[in-house]
Amino acid sequence: MPHPSAAPVLLEVKELAKRYGDDAQSSTVFEQVSCSVQAGEFVAVVGDSGVGKSTFLNCLAGLDSWQQGRILHQGTDLSSLDETRRAIWRRQHLGFVFQAFHVLPHLDVAQNVALPLMLLGRMNAQGQQRVEQVLQAVGLAGLGSRLPQQLSGGQLQRVAIARALVHSPPLLLADEPTGNLDPGTAQQIMDLLLQQTREQHTALVLVTHSREAARRADRVLRLTAQGMQRQGQMQTPTQASNA
Ligand SMILES: Nc1ncnc2c1ncn2[C@@H]1O[C@H](COP(=O)(O)OP(=O)(O)OP(=O)(O)O)[C@@H](O)[C@H]1O
């Protein structure tokens, strides 16, 4: 695997600002947020509770809107895509692991994991094999026909990770994927996430409060209301805008 510093830039965020409310009564969540992520790189995003980490991740996924700035994925400006094209772009380029799993209760484990392939029209014999391969990789081999209600929290999070990786997206966004888990299971989930992203050369942007998880990142970025800074460094505004 090439070292991240030699890899091309996958994601660029330029002076992003997010506000809620209308002009008369708006409240700024964050502004002047800039950063970039290279292919295959693992970036942890940390910050105080309520500072806007989940909001930032939702913006990166094109699931939320912003008032100023740009988000570029491999040079494509997300705001240039209408809703339909954004949805297609998400299917092809993105995996998202939510804190609350978001596993569909009426589908079995294999069907949940297969969803991205079905949406991409890739659920043929090869797709079936891929589902089995990913289930095995996350330690759920043999559990494909179980319903989500028959799984533990750690197993459900594994389903969510398998589903986010099954279509080999270049970018994986994960919002506190270990937040609901005990420390032992949390570590296993982090091991798995890292192993899978390293093997598939997927860039990983992980929002976390966990020092343990952040410690394993290639880079840690701290989100504040005024911008994004590389953790552990005092930066000039110019350096921060290049974080
Ligand atoms: N729909 C909304 N309308 C108004 N304000 C909102 C809305 N959604 C979120 N907020 C506010 O935006 C801010 C950022 O929320 P967000 O969930 O992104 O923070 P966070 O850093 O992920 O928090 P935590 O670490 O506690 O999960 C919070 O102050 C929250 O109250």
Which amino acid is it at 210? Answer: S
Does 22 score more than 90 pLDDT? no
Helices (H), 179-243: 183-200, 211-215, 237-241
List strands edge to edge, sheet with 27-38. 27-38, 9-20, 68-73, 76-77
Does 235 score more than 50 pLDDT? no
**Angle formed at CA 217 by CA 213 and CA 221, multiple of 5 degrees:** 95
Determine the pLDDT at residue 149.
Answer: 96
ipTM over 0.90 threshold: yes
Determine the pLDDT at residue 243.
Answer: 58
Specify the 3-state DSSP secondary structure of 214: helix
Instruction: Name the more confident of 1 and 54.
Output: 54
Q: Give nearest CA residue, ligand 1 atom 4.
A: 20
| 103-112, 152-161, 172-181, 207-216: which is most confident | 103-112
Instruction: Give the whole-number percent of the chain exceeding pLDDT 70.
Output: 93
CB contact burial 54-72 (16+ within 10 A = b; e otherwise): bbbbbbbbbeeebeebebb
Q: For 77-81, 99-103, 223-227, 231-235, which range has the lowest pLDDT when averaged over its residues?
A: 231-235
Residue of 2, 31, 35 lying closest to 17 (CA atoms): 31
Position in ligand 1 atom list of the atom nearest CA 47: 21
Q: Give nearest CA residue, ligand 1 atom 17.
A: 54
Determine the pLDDT at residue 234.
Answer: 42
Q: What is the CATH number of the domain that holds 73?
A: 3.40.50.300
Does 3 score more than 70 pLDDT? no
Mean pLDDT of 84-112: 93
Which amino acid is it at 24? Answer: A
Range of the structural domain that residue 76 is part of: 4-241
Mean pLDDT of 116-140: 94
Can you spell out the DSSP letters for 18-39?
Answer: EEES-STT-EEEEEEEEEEEET
pLDDT mean across residues, the chain: 90
Position in ligand 1 atom list of the atom nearest CA 209: 25
Q: How many whole angstroms from 51 Cα to the centroid of ligand 1?
A: 7
Total tally of structural domains belonging to the chain? 1
Instruction: Give the whole-number percent of the chain exceeding pLDDT 90.
Output: 73
Q: Please give all residues whose beta carbon lies within 6 A of any atom in ligand 1, as ranges.
A: 20, 29, 47, 49-55
pLDDT grade for 102, boundaries at 50, 70 and 90: confident
Mean pLDDT of 185-191: 87
Q: Is the distance from CB of 114 to CB of 131 less than 8 angstroms? A: yes
